[in-house]
Structure 1
Amino acid sequence: MKVWSGRFSSKPAELMERFSRSIEIDGKMWREDLAVNRAWAQALYEAKLLTAAEEAKIQRGLRAIATEFRNERFAFLPEDEDIHVAIERRLTELVGATGAKIHTGRSRNDQVVTDFRLYLKRRVGEVQTALRELAAASVAQAEASQEIILPAYTHTQQAQPIRLAHYLLALSFALQRHSSQLRQCVERIDELPLGCGAVAGTAFSIDRKKLAQTLGFRRVMQNSIDATGTRSFCGEMIFICSDIGVTLSRYAHDFILWSTQEFGFIDPGEKFATGSSMMPNKKNPDAFELVRGKTGTLLGLLTGIMSLQKGIPATYSRDLQEDKKAVFEALQTAEDCMSVFAGALRTCHFRAERMRAALTSALFATDLADYLVRKGIPFRKAHELVAQAVQYAERCACGLHELPLEYWRSLYAGCDKELFLCFQAKTSVERRNAIGGTSLRQVKAQIRQVKNWLK
């Protein structure tokens, strides 16, 4: 029997029953639903809506149900359309008519969103663990590669020399920012909807502040319409998961490119790579490709959750049943992407010799401009002179470092042999010693910062 069947004179169509079931999704929240029921039973007793004996009976029944779930012995029935109905039905089976009192003064509207918020508070902690493991993998590779120098690219064109550790640490700092996003989102989630009923609030003297304390919420939601109708936290959570995915996708793109024979900067290893069913020579960086692909899925989920909300009223509508599926999938996808990325990063091999070989003299054009600045030339003029040298070297089919001192003196008479020190990669990176730079000192400082955060 449905909890709402008294309004109808016939059963719903079997197709409608299947179509409207959500137990396969919200069944994940059984822990939270039991916690909500335990707290609600206590609140009903304190409001004198249950006797002490009735509350004790309900609490015993809820503990028995929890044991069934933990032992994987809870039996769902076809009429259990969601986790709330399933638990209430089982409670009534165990304790009789007293169990039917558990829903006094509340609605599934406030019950489900309370479960949901509790679940996210717990689930985000697991995602944070995966995030921190990836940051640890990144900083470990950074520590091991402090002396490796490679070209940095902007617009996919060679730009300036950097330390590989500096590049890898950029991922660690991005992950630190994503961790902060998750933490701040949970802070906004951390408010209690329970006791707001379906739309207008509860008619009984429920102490909602005490309910919040019992369930571990920091505060109570102040408006029953907002409490039961808003799903802005769903959009925010999926956005953060998507943002994490976009960050990983960008690094994945670099690593995929770096693993090509043309670059050869990375050997993706064997634990997180695959081969070809046809071509015996292939070792494909599939972990990074799949992360990049699954980011598209995350962006689709973000579009979906926002579209879900845009056309419905401010109060609860059944459309919102679809919120959990999207959020659960986004959290799982983001967690999986970070775990796989961490494994692939730990097991890949960076080829220092190929990175060194890719350092061309054009990478030091900015160093040459800086050299002229130190000679007293305004930077814009220095930029123009070095740009002329770049064009001249291209016409001569030679590198900037191969241009003779006489040529440089034709551009500026004050040039001396010190100019050729600009073509040393280590000198170049060591000059970038301001906070955030790629010098060894700054890289070590960044490693310390990430490690302190990970403690």
Structure 2
Amino acid sequence: MKNIKEKALWSGRFSSSPAEVMQQFSQSLDMDWHFYSQDILGSKAHAKMLHHINLIDANELEQLLQGLAEIEMEILEGKLVPKVSLEDVHMNIEARLIEKLGPLGAKIHTGRSRNDQVATDYRLFMKAAIESIMNKLIKFMEVLTNKASDNINVIIPGFTHLQHAQPISLGHYWMAYFWKFERDLKRFQNAYETTNVNPLGAGALAGSTLPLDRDFTRVELGFDSTTENSLDTVSDRDYLLEFLFAASTFMLNTSRLSEDLIIWCTSEFDFIQPPDSFCTGSSMMPNKKNPDALELTRGKTSGVLSSLLDLMVNIKGLPLTYNRDLQEDKRPVFHAIETVNIVLEVLTPLIAGVKPKEEKIAPHLKKGFLLATDVAEYLVLKGIPFRETHEIVGNLVQYCIGENKGFEDLSMAEWKNSNSIFEEDILDILSVEAAVDRRNTYGGTSRKEVERQIEKGRLLIEKTLV
């Protein structure tokens, strides 16, 4: 048994062990030790399959399963410390099994390669990781619907080019991000489906001469289907790219949301009050309340985007099938998983605690001529072509700027002087609340439409949870 510890399990054709620096260079334990639970689960399923096809007997199966269970307990209790000389999680667990069971332990690798083994471990790991992220994302989306419902009657300026544009319901704003994150949820769901395929049995690259039952391990491991081509199986990292793309678009959306709220926290806007528990102060200036959680979310986005690029560049020129370059596929993915999780754990209570400052928002509703489009469309309803009404109202805005007035300050004579078609009923549209509710096209900002969106969003959440 001593040689098992000192020599690699693949060392038969070599006359010497790897140089110490090579062992350090080629080891992957700092990353793939995360897979120990999945590796043991896959080994148990593989052992059961070997018994199913009569390559090991019932007694051997029982010993292998017991040995694997004991190894998992040793890891959990910190008694089994992996050895760098054994390179990776697979070799460490197999070597310990052989140490415990002798030649019987060596049977566990019958018909199996580390190539399909790591693919199995990784897919099992990613299924759990994606499922956890989706559950957290659903809770975050639920918070957004609650905020939309609470803020449906709060009117704020909507912006294009960061300039005042038209009035909207704040509930409409929150639902805008709900739908962005709903698409992110779909992308994570697609990544989960792409991941949920059994690679075990593909071997090193060409399958096996042994009568392996791949559907047996598929059922044992809870995969929905089995990979179709062994060459593709051991070289495939598309499912990781799909996850990283979903993670990247999610982070892009959180970054945009964070940027909005950071702007709204400034003294110049002062639209919202973020919860103190997600802000920090200055070491020098006692007056400061900095939206650090939002800034960090915005900053961490670049790391996840880089993770996607990292893996894309890694595989862009790899020939079939397995190449050791693929050992480096874990760092970017683990970084993205960690970042997405912590961002969701922070943003969910942060958004729940954001409060609008209606008294601070109110003066902004009189800036930027938010109702200019309403006035133009008032004229459209009077029979004037829109391009003509656009010019009429543009000239009226220019007049108001020169006179330092808003639409609400104009006399009827001034309205008439702008265009004789204006009547007393123009005054009826000079309300931001009414302007919001007039925008009742499907998907518009009217409070009735926002209520419909909220109801639909909640039904989608309920359906997803089921």
Residue 232 of structure 2 corresponds to which residue in structure 1? Answer: 226
- Residues 49-85 of structure 1 show CA distances to partners (whole Å, capped at 9, x for unaligned) of 2222212211111121222334444332332321111
- Residues 160-189 of structure 1 show CA distances to partners (whole Å, capped at 9, x for unaligned) of 101111101111121111111111111111
Residue 451 of structure 2 corresponds to which residue in structure 1? Answer: 444
- Which whole-Å CA distance do the structure 2 matches of 1:9 and 1:276 have between them? 62
Normalised by the size of structure 2, how large is the TM-score?
0.94
SS in 1 for 2:158: strand
Gaps of at least 5 residues in structure 2 are: 1-6
> Match for 1:417: what amino acid?
E
| Conserved 8 A contact 2:440-2:448 | yes
Q: 1:453 aligns with which of 450, 455, 460?
A: 460
In the alignment, does 2:380 pair up with 1:373? yes
- Which whole-Å CA distance do the structure 2 matches of 1:122 and 1:263 have between them? 42
| Conserved 8 A contact 1:305-1:326 | yes
| Conserved 8 A contact 1:47-1:204 | no
Percent identity, aligned pairs only? 39
Q: CA deviation at 1:305?
A: 0.8
Q: CA deviation at 1:308?
A: 0.5
In the alignment, does 2:189 pair up with 1:151? no
Residues 241-390 of structure 1 correspond to what in structure 2 (within 5 A)?
241-360=247-366, 362-390=369-397
In the alignment, does 2:383 pair up with 1:393? no
Residue 4 of structure 2 corresponds to which residue in structure 1? Answer: none
Q: CA deviation at 1:396?
A: 2.4
- Cα RMSD of the aligned pairs, angstroms, is 1.5
Normalised by the size of structure 1, how large is the TM-score?
0.97
Q: CA deviation at 1:14?
A: 1.5
- Residues 241-285 of structure 1 show CA distances to partners (whole Å, capped at 9, x for unaligned) of 110000000010010011011111122221000111111111100
- Which whole-Å CA distance do the structure 2 matches of 1:351 and 1:314 have between them? 59
Residue 142 of structure 1 corresponds to which residue in structure 2? Answer: 148
Residue 190 of structure 2 corresponds to which residue in structure 1? Answer: 184
| Conserved 8 A contact 1:131-1:335 | no
Structure 1 range deviating more: 139-148 or 106-115: 139-148
Q: 1:133 aligns with which of 128, 139, 142?
A: 139
> Match for 2:423: what amino acid?
D
Q: CA deviation at 1:133?
A: 2.0
Residue 427 of structure 2 corresponds to which residue in structure 1? Answer: 420
SS in 2 for 1:280: coil
Q: CA deviation at 1:349?
A: 2.3
Q: 1:404 aligns with which of 404, 411, 416?
A: 411
- Which whole-Å CA distance do the structure 2 matches of 1:318 and 1:244 have between them? 30
> Match for 2:89: what amino acid?
I
Q: CA deviation at 1:15?
A: 1.7
- Which whole-Å CA distance do the structure 2 matches of 1:324 and 1:218 have between them? 23
- Which whole-Å CA distance do the structure 2 matches of 1:450 and 1:81 have between them? 48
- Which whole-Å CA distance do the structure 1 matches of 2:302 and 2:267 have between them? 27
SS in 1 for 2:156: strand
Residue 6 of structure 1 corresponds to which residue in structure 2? Answer: 12
Q: CA deviation at 1:321?
A: 0.6
Q: 1:43 aligns with which of 24, 41, 49?
A: 49
- Which whole-Å CA distance do the structure 1 matches of 2:383 and 2:48 have between them? 78
- Which whole-Å CA distance do the structure 1 matches of 2:347 and 2:200 have between them? 39
- Which whole-Å CA distance do the structure 2 matches of 1:436 and 1:359 have between them? 22
Gaps of at least 5 residues in structure 1 are: none
- Residues 103-130 of structure 1 show CA distances to partners (whole Å, capped at 9, x for unaligned) of 1111101110111111111111111122
- Which whole-Å CA distance do the structure 2 matches of 1:394 and 1:179 have between them? 46
| Conserved 8 A contact 2:49-2:213 | yes
Q: CA deviation at 1:412?
A: 3.1
- Which whole-Å CA distance do the structure 1 matches of 2:185 and 2:45 have between them? 30
Residue 92 of structure 2 corresponds to which residue in structure 1? Answer: 86
- Which whole-Å CA distance do the structure 1 matches of 2:350 and 2:79 have between them? 38
Q: CA deviation at 1:338?
A: 1.7
- Residues 298-321 of structure 1 show CA distances to partners (whole Å, capped at 9, x for unaligned) of 111111110001121131100001
| Conserved 8 A contact 2:254-2:297 | yes
> Match for 1:355: what amino acid?
I
SS in 2 for 1:162: strand
Q: CA deviation at 1:367?
A: 0.8
| Conserved 8 A contact 1:109-1:198 | yes
| Conserved 8 A contact 2:27-2:84 | no
Q: 1:119 aligns with which of 117, 121, 125?
A: 125
Q: 1:23 aligns with which of 20, 29, 50?
A: 29
- Residues 346-389 of structure 1 show CA distances to partners (whole Å, capped at 9, x for unaligned) of 22322111112211250001111111111122222222211121
- Which whole-Å CA distance do the structure 1 matches of 2:301 and 2:152 have between them? 30
| Conserved 8 A contact 2:131-2:192 | no
> Match for 1:440: what amino acid?
R
Number of equivalent positions = 455
Residue 3 of structure 2 corresponds to which residue in structure 1? Answer: none
> Match for 2:382: what amino acid?
K
Q: CA deviation at 1:136?
A: 2.0
Residue 219 of structure 2 corresponds to which residue in structure 1? Answer: 213
- Which whole-Å CA distance do the structure 2 matches of 1:421 and 1:99 have between them? 85
